[in-house]
Structure 1
Amino acid sequence: MGQWGLGELGSGALQWPHQRQGQTLPTAPRSPCRSENMLRFLSLKFGRLYRCLKFLLLVGLFVILVMNTHNLFASFQRNELTDRRFINLNKCPACFGTSWCRKFMNGQVSFETWGRLRFLDFFNVKNVHFAQYGEPREGTRRIVLKRLGSNQELGDIDQKICKRATGRPRCDLIQAMYKTEFARLNGDVRLLTPDVVEGWSDLVHCPSQRLLDRVVRRYAETKDSGSFLLKNLKDTERMQLLMTLAFNPEPLVLQSFPSDEGWPFAKYLGACGRMVAVNYVGEELWSFYNAPWEQRVDLARQLMDIAEQLTNNDFDFALYLLDVSFDNFAVGPRDGKVIVVDAENVIVADKRLIRQNKPENYDVWYESRVEDCDKEACLSFSKDILCSRVTVDHNYYAVCQNLLSRYSTWRGTTGGLLHDPPADVAKDGHLEALLDECTKPKKHYGRYQAAKELREYLAQLSNNVR
């Protein structure tokens, strides 16, 4: 619709036809015309005001940009990852490790272009950054840097450490660490035991000695890894391990269940201060929501395989994913392999310990219940039940409901990764029936059988489209 110009309104755009001499024109109601003119006038005024404000905003941004040109150029030129305070190396041992500090200090790690602009951190609540890592012989490759929490969460942990040590919210953080439970396990204690750390985080919600020995033995932030004895760790290393375990155990999950041994997690590289480096996997799963059907079928098959591997494996550890969404998985650009890239909320249950202790109903198959939720990608579960049953269908339920089925919701969309199947698949109805039974089973233990058949059916579909 065209806009009224000021000249058109001023010159009387709405006029009666030419009046003959001596002829009296009939009197017409004037209020509608006045109302219409008034609306057009106000519309014009508001339109001009909007354009004026928009222009002033652009001018303001340009002025700010010009005034900060030097700072912007400096942001691109300097490498903040060599700054001890920026990566919080000055807060160690209240940090996540130091194994990669030499690489950081040598300038081998640097933010990618836009990651160097600090004002963009306002939008980066999760504190996840893309960076480049260079080795003389290997060249440069992309990695991911994580602070393992928001600035607010990191500030809260500092306050908690100070309050536990001094009763005040602010203190000398380094000195305070030596007065907390993180420092009480000195070199005389041989083992990290369940009674010390149970419930600190999801990883150790129900820890076994076998799990904790594995965590200590594979701890990558020490030069003498390979031993499950705490006495082989330095005081600072023990405190770093325990703080990571309590604050965000994701690095310990990646180290204890490494990708090099076939576990579906991103590869842990190292840490410096409160910056952890992991291997860049690829684009997030959400980027493939509208990929070709054959590719989505293959991704769905891999997701179900991950659910099976984490539930049943030769090590008798069940790893239950408590946070399952499209953002927590990524796909390799070359091999198309699906990898878990957010392992903070993972419960590890030791099936051998469950069989040994035999808690009530330990050998009864557990069926996860679906409950209505007004949030996206939510799940219903009981941590205590996950820790006390040998056979649990949680991972199948989580993948089917939040990623694959028509009940999946994410970023305002519904339908899941397997939306809009080809006509022959839709007509057959078998895929939809399996997804429905995997999500909201109608039969007793129906999800177990549906998950098994779904994996087989997706494998069959993948073979048919190759």
Structure 2
Amino acid sequence: MEHIFGSILICLIMPIKGKKITLQSYLIALMGVSCLLSIYKTAFPVFVDLKDKDLLDLQKCPSCYGVNMCPAIITGEIRLVDWSQYTIGRFMNARNVYFGDFRNSPVVMKKLGHDWELEELDNAICIASNLSVGCEVNKAIRSLTKEVTDEIFVPDIGGGPSGHIDYKIQTEDIGNGSDFLHCSSSRKTQFIMDKILKKNHGQHQITIIENIITLMMINEEALIGQAFPYEEGFPFPKYYGACGRLVIEELVNRTIADFVYSAWESRAAVAYRLLGLAERMTNISSNFSLYWTDVTEHNLGLDEKNNPLILDAENIIIVDLEEVETVRAGDWDVPFTSEGVGCESCFSYNVDNLCYHAKTDHNIYALCHGLLSPGAFSHRYPQGLLYNIPEYVLQKFPELPSLLEECKWPKNDGGRFKAATELMKILEEFKDLLSNS
């Protein structure tokens, strides 16, 4: 900063040299103002530099999210748009979310945490590596990875002396972190690792594993985006990749909030799709269940083909159904009915009930009670998405209000599953009446 203060001093002195208001002194004053403006632009730039090291945190890699998108940032293929491009916007951007354009497609870029959360991540990595707070996390993550990762030699099928090394992360040794660490299972961890290593084929395996461990400790969104990719039909926005501690994803412009004041038929079409999504997530793929724990009108959206998407995957709990069957804890094979924990007017749940049951109605509970029915959790839309049911609909389907109530608070065993099935049958009639919001 010394050169900046020196330059400011020169700029301030220059106009004083003129004793009279002459053309010369006027020109000198102009030069002083121009000089100050030049220094201001240098010290306080108007536009955010996407290549800024403090934004990308590349110096912290491999304690970062990846580097595959760095060439696109360095060459300018990705550029910031709207308020995200202005420096002043960073003072109001506590969530560290930026909007941009990549090859003429809108993208959203996330640091996956507030500044204080990222600082806590660094501290956690240092402490877990038996180092003091403030250590060099790019070195600490290597130490932590060695501590929580087992190397397993896998011989060739022919039985010769050659083979390859497989790696297994012991998530129990990582400590606290993202929701991924709930319901731990070696098969779940291996599934995530295999999918991400395959996606990043050609990069050093240990470096990718260090990225994975970092994400496990801060935010699982990038793990889910790679393990359950949009390209394979999963309900998450397209994940492009990362550069340092910045991930790049497809920007989905339509959220459920955009439909709150649409015609009832259009809202019914949205509800039909969301109920289908809730059912699908309960056994999404490879014998895994995904349970959402943050259902809001802003966290759910529709893609260009009107398929429902989960826009924020930070709060997803992944349950390995094979692990549930292996452990067989208590009444593991009895479908579990979610009732909330200590709060009827807010979204609450017990993680263990999700971890140790082969089937729960949690996703339907979150959707019906949280978004669709009267008394929804949203403070802005407590009337629920399906408010003001038209008279002609009630005449044809008089059971609709009671089904919504049963889906919200079931009176019978398995009532929520049955209510959701019946609701979908009714709402299917309106599935093609979706407006553009």
TM-score by shorter chain over 0.5: yes
Residue correspondence of structure 1 range 309-458 to structure 2 within 5 A: 309-313=280-284, 315-332=286-303, 334-370=304-340, 373=343, 378-426=346-394, 428-458=397-427
Q: For residue 12 of structure 2, what is the aligned residue in structure 1?
A: none
Q: For residue 242 of structure 1, what is the aligned residue in structure 2?
A: 213
Looking at structure 2, the residues matched to 73 and 425 of structure 1 have their Cα atoms a distance apart, in angstroms, of: 63
Q: Is the deviation greater in 259-268 or in 351-360? A: 351-360
Q: Displacement, 1:158?
A: 1.6
> Is 1:199–1:206's contact at 8 Å kept on the other side of the alignment?
no
Q: For residue 122 of structure 1, what is the aligned residue in structure 2?
A: 91
SS in 1 for 2:143: coil
Q: Is the deviation greater in 440-449 or in 206-215? A: 206-215
SS in 1 for 2:106: strand
Q: Displacement, 1:305?
A: 0.5
Cα 1:423–1:328 shift into 2, 3 Å: same
User: What letter corresponds to residue 353 of structure 1 in structure 2?
Assistant: E
Residue correspondence of structure 1 range 53-72 to structure 2 within 5 A: 71=41
Q: For residue 214 of structure 1, what is the aligned residue in structure 2?
A: 191
Q: For residue 160 of structure 1, what is the aligned residue in structure 2?
A: 124
Q: Displacement, 1:277?
A: 0.5
Say whether residues 1:307 and 2:275 are aligned partners.
no
SS in 2 for 1:110: strand
Count of equivalent residues:
386
Q: For residue 32 of structure 2, what is the aligned residue in structure 1?
A: none
Q: Is the deviation greater in 114-123 or in 438-447? A: 114-123
Looking at structure 1, the residues matched to 94 and 44 of structure 2 have their Cα atoms a distance apart, in angstroms, of: 24
What CA RMSD, in Å, does the superposition of the two structures yield over aligned residues? 2.9
Say whether residues 1:172 and 2:136 are aligned partners.
yes
What does the per-residue CA deviation read over 1:421-464, in whole Å, with 9 as the maximum and x for residues that have no partner? 21222455322111100001122221111011111111123368
Q: For residue 49 of structure 2, what is the aligned residue in structure 1?
A: 80
Looking at structure 2, the residues matched to 271 and 166 of structure 1 have their Cα atoms a distance apart, in angstroms, of: 28
- The unaligned stretches of length 5 or more in structure 2 are 1-35, 153-165
Looking at structure 2, the residues matched to 324 and 242 of structure 1 have their Cα atoms a distance apart, in angstroms, of: 26
User: What letter corresponds to residue 333 of structure 2 in structure 1?
Assistant: D
Q: Displacement, 1:182?
A: 6.3
> Is 1:111–1:130's contact at 8 Å kept on the other side of the alignment?
yes
Q: Tell me which structure has the larger Cα radius of gyration.
A: 1
Cα 1:256–1:295 shift into 2, 3 Å: same
Looking at structure 1, the residues matched to 237 and 371 of structure 2 have their Cα atoms a distance apart, in angstroms, of: 19
SS in 2 for 1:413: coil
> Is 1:438–1:451's contact at 8 Å kept on the other side of the alignment?
yes
> Is 1:125–1:150's contact at 8 Å kept on the other side of the alignment?
yes
Corresponding residue to 1:148 among 105, 112, 125: 112
Cα 1:155–1:389 shift into 2, 3 Å: same
Looking at structure 2, the residues matched to 394 and 184 of structure 1 have their Cα atoms a distance apart, in angstroms, of: 32
Higher RCO, 1 vs 2 (CA within 8 Å, ≥6 residues apart)? 2
Cα 1:271–1:348 shift into 2, 3 Å: same
> Is 2:271–2:372's contact at 8 Å kept on the other side of the alignment?
yes
Looking at structure 1, the residues matched to 377 and 51 of structure 2 have their Cα atoms a distance apart, in angstroms, of: 41
User: What letter corresponds to residue 119 of structure 1 in structure 2?
Assistant: I
What does the per-residue CA deviation read over 1:53-93, in whole Å, with 9 as the maximum and x for residues that have no partner? xxxxxxxxxxxxx97996499856x5611223321111111
Q: For residue 290 of structure 1, what is the aligned residue in structure 2?
A: 261
> Is 2:125–2:144's contact at 8 Å kept on the other side of the alignment?
yes
Corresponding residue to 2:249 among 267, 274, 278: 278
- The unaligned stretches of length 5 or more in structure 1 are 1-65, 135-139, 226-231
Task: Among all aligned residue pairs of Structure 1 and Structure 2, give the percentage whose two residues are the same amino acid.
Answer: 29
Looking at structure 1, the residues matched to 197 and 250 of structure 2 have their Cα atoms a distance apart, in angstroms, of: 15
Looking at structure 1, the residues matched to 382 and 39 of structure 2 have their Cα atoms a distance apart, in angstroms, of: 44
Looking at structure 1, the residues matched to 252 and 302 of structure 2 have their Cα atoms a distance apart, in angstroms, of: 6
Looking at structure 1, the residues matched to 133 and 185 of structure 2 have their Cα atoms a distance apart, in angstroms, of: 34
> Is 1:409–1:415's contact at 8 Å kept on the other side of the alignment?
no
Q: For residue 91 of structure 1, what is the aligned residue in structure 2?
A: 60
